[in-house]
Amino acid sequence: MGKHVLVIEDEPNIIEAISFILSRDGWTVDTHSNGHDAVSVVRAKSPDLVILDVMLPGKSGYDILTELRQDAATQNLPVLMLTARGQSKDRELAEKIGASRFMTKPFSNAEVLEALHELVPQ
């Protein structure tokens, strides 16, 4: 089995696309589609990496990341943030909170895979 990735995203088509790409690249993919319980799901599944959308129903990606960084268990967990709001202040905010990488949608599949390999050496 490859490394374990958790995709937190509410747009079904995007989940489908990311899941397909990562599976093809050899990752074990888990998905979750709302913000309410995202933090506890991360703790429960303890993935090697999290792909986190910003605009989620229930709780924003920023809030989820902030909580993860306060918790010792997930303090250093690699998190790739994705957002459809591509303004520079969004990127600054994400980096400040502690996102490992920040990518705006639409992304190229190759870029995502490359970023994942950098964050989690195979």
Partner 1 sequence: MGALNILVAVCLTYVALLFLVAFMAERAALRGRATWLRSPLVYTLSLSIYCTAWTFYGAVGNAARSGLEFLTIYIGPTLVMIGWWWGLRKLVRVGRTQRITSIADLISSRYGKSPLLAVFVTLIAVIGTTPYIALQLQSVTLSFASFAKVDPQAMQFADSEATALWVAGGLAVFTILFGTRNLDANERHHGVVMAIAVEAVVKLCALVAVGVFVVWGLGGGVSETLARIDASDIGTWQVDNGRWVAMTMLSAAAFLTLPRMFQVLVVENEDERHLRTASWAFPTYLMIMSLFVVPIAVVGLDIMPEGANPDQFVLTVPLSQGQQGLAMLSFLGGFSSATSMVIVAAIALSTMVSNHIVMPIWLRIAQGGAVISGDVRHVVLLARRLSIGGVLALGYLYYRFSGGGAALTSIGLISFSGVAQFLPALMGAIFWRGSNHTGAVAGLLIGFLIWVYSMLLPSFGPGVFLSAEVLEHGLWGLSWLKPQALFGIEGIDPVVHTVLWSMSLNAGAFVLFSIISFPQPLERLQGAQFVNVFQHSGNPQGWSGGVAQAEDLMVMAQRILGPVETQTLFQKAALEQGLVGFLPEPTPDFLQRLERELAGSVGAATAHAMVSQIMGRATVSVEDLLAVADETAQMMEYSSQLEAKSAELSRTARQLRAANEKLTKLSVQKDAFLSQISHELRTPMTSIRSFSEILRDTEELSPADLEKYADIIHQEAIRLTRLLDDLLDLSVLENGQVNLNIRQGVLQDLITHAIASTGAESSGLNIHRSGISTDILMETDLDRLAQVFINLIANAQKYCDADQPELTIQVTERDNYLIVDFIDNGSGIPAQAQDMVFEKFSRVSDRQAGGAGLGLAICREIMARLGGSIAYLPGQGGAAFRVSLPIKMKMAAQ
Contact residue for partner 1 among 40, 45, 87, 117 (CB under 8 A): 87
Q: Which residues contact 28 (CB under 8 A, 6 or more apart)?
A: 1, 2, 3, 4, 5
- Shortest reach from residue 96's CB to partner 1, in Å: 19
What is the rounded distance in angstroms from the CA atom of residue 6 to the CA atom of residue 49? 6
Q: Which is nearer to partner 1, 40 or 106 (CB)?
A: 106
Tokens of 76: 């250093």
Contact residue for partner 1 among 23, 45, 73, 84 (CB under 8 A): 84
The answer to whether 105 touches 80, Cβ cutoff 8 Å, is no
Q: Which is nearer to partner 1, 77 or 99 (CB)?
A: 99
What per-residue string of b and e applies to 37-72 under the rule 16 or more CB within 10 Å gives b? ebbebbeeeebbbbbbbbebeeeebbbbbebbbeee
37 binds partner 1 (CB under 8 A): no
- Return the range that interacts with partner 1 (CB under 8 A); candidates 13-21, 44-52, 72-80, 114-122: 13-21
Contact residue for partner 1 among 57, 92, 96, 114 (CB under 8 A): 57
| Residues forming the site for partner 1 (CB under 8 A) | 10-14, 16-18, 20-21, 24, 34, 55, 57, 84-87, 104-110
